[in-house]
Structure 1
Amino acid sequence: MPVKLSVFLLILATAISGCAVISEADCRSGLWYERGLHDGARGRSQALVYDIAKECQSYEIYVDSEAWLRGHEEGVEQFCTAENGYAQGRQGRKYEGVCTGPTADIFLQNYQRGLADYRVAQQYRDLLWRRDNLERELYSLHRALRHSDSDNQRRALYFQHSRLEWELRMLDLELHRYGLFGPDYFTPGFYPRSFFSSGFFYW
């Protein structure tokens, strides 16, 4: 069986099996080099082979650890690149420290840069989520004010409305730091202050 086809089948089996270390069918397949290649290219540590061996032992199946380690070493070379380091960080994935030598510093530097961008994007999404909730709360308050006949209740609603509007203005200032199109297109000052509250920018 060609290596590329074997690796594809391993990826498919991993997706189907979910969080299991390895399935009985994979233990019986005997594709230890291909599995090591796949696990190395995913950035999994060498310690994984012990978990695989333990799982397969429960099915009375021997794991060719040497073949797995040969494949793993080759897979790690594919994993430890500057481009992949940034991609792993940008997706918020955990790094298991598999890179060694000069490539380790290059990978880690780009991984940290990607991770920083990931965290900024997370903060931006959290702000958008909070702003959406504030808009909903303000809309509910507008409806309550229109249907309220009690002066005490209206005063309480106006106070709550003022507090939410202030929080919304503060939130807009935070969003303003990310520019018009969010953290991936950071353009500070591209649009005027209070643009988000203008009534045009609703989502």
Structure 2
Amino acid sequence: MRLFPGFLILSTLLTGCASLTEDECAVGEWARIGANDAAQGLKASRLTDHKKACERYNIEPDQTTYMEGYRRGLVAYCTPTNGFNVGRNGYTYRTICPRDTETGFLSGYKRGTTLHNIETSIAQVRDSLREVRTQIGELRAAPSKENRDARMRLYSEENRLENEEARLGRQRDAALVNADIFLQNINPDI
């Protein structure tokens, strides 16, 4: 399957710390800063954080240039492929896409989020399975009638978790096929 294109516009640096350094404020590449903010899925109100950061250095951001860059960044961010990647990585969509691109973005985002949620559930089931198997091993080491009854309950729980893991695995496989078809339909080159 060819699920993930070589590009992922979404940066892993989705942080809320001090937005800009003195040098960044002084250089004032506001179009680039706006484009980067949008490409990271941040709201345009991020400019307020930049204003506060630059205020310390008596520098005023160029709001018009920032917004021009921000709009360019939205073009890159608000795609169905990026929507899938945002959802697949478990990021929150902040409702920043214009109406004309939001439907496509959300179509990808929904598929990515579904896959992310299934994979999160699989990881939780596997953690529970490890815990149950550890408990079974501990009870085997000290045989007694009480331990035997507890082991039987744990074997039943182990079986239930194994079935749940298999069910979720089938769901994940179906979601992967669905995502692959979706991504190929929107970008046949992947």
Task: Give the TM-score taking structure 1 as reference length.
Answer: 0.74
Contact 1:37 1:75 in 2 (8 A): yes
What amino acid sits opposite 1:30 in the alignment? G
Contact 1:124 1:183 in 2 (8 A): no
Alignment match, 1:201: none
CA distance in 2, matches of 1:36, 1:70: 7
Which residue, 168, 179, 185 being the options, matches 2:158? 168
Alpha-carbon distance change, 35 to 158 in structure 1, aligned in 2, over 3 angstroms = same
CA apart distance, 1:157: 1.2
CA apart distance, 1:36: 0.8
CA apart distance, 1:143: 1.2
Alignment match, 2:81: 83
How many residues align? The count is: 164
How far does the alpha carbon of each residue in 1:120-158 deviate from its partner, in whole angstroms, 9 at most, with x for none? 11001100111111111111111122xxxxxxxx12211
Which residue, 103, 110, 113 being the options, matches 2:111? 113
CA distance in 2, matches of 1:36, 1:75: 7
Alpha-carbon distance change, 18 to 97 in structure 1, aligned in 2, over 3 angstroms = closer
Q: Verify: 1:70 aligned to 2:53, yes or no.
A: no
How far does the alpha carbon of each residue in 1:6-27 deviate from its partner, in whole angstroms, 9 at most, with x for none? xxxxx8xx95x98332233322
Runs of 4+ in 1 over 4 A off after TM superposition: none
Task: Give the TM-score taking structure 2 as reference length.
Answer: 0.78
- Structure 2 stretches lacking a partner, 5+ long: 1-10, 176-190
Contact 2:84 2:109 in 1 (8 A): yes
Q: Which has the larger radius of gyration?
A: 1
How far does the alpha carbon of each residue in 1:141-188 deviate from its partner, in whole angstroms, 9 at most, with x for none? 11122xxxxxxxx12211211111111011111112134xx754359x
Contact 2:38 2:73 in 1 (8 A): yes
Alignment match, 2:173: 185
Alignment match, 1:123: 121
Alignment match, 1:103: 101
Alignment match, 1:94: 92
- Structure 1 stretches lacking a partner, 5+ long: 1-10, 146-153, 188-203
Q: Verify: 1:36 aligned to 2:37, yes or no.
A: no
What amino acid sits opposite 1:174 in the alignment? E
Q: Verify: 1:134 aligned to 2:124, yes or no.
A: no
CA apart distance, 1:32: 1.1
Q: Verify: 1:54 aligned to 2:42, yes or no.
A: no
Alpha-carbon distance change, 23 to 156 in structure 1, aligned in 2, over 3 angstroms = farther
Contact 1:121 1:183 in 2 (8 A): no
Q: Percent identity?
A: 27
CA distance in 2, matches of 1:102, 1:56: 33
CA distance in 2, matches of 1:172, 1:104: 39
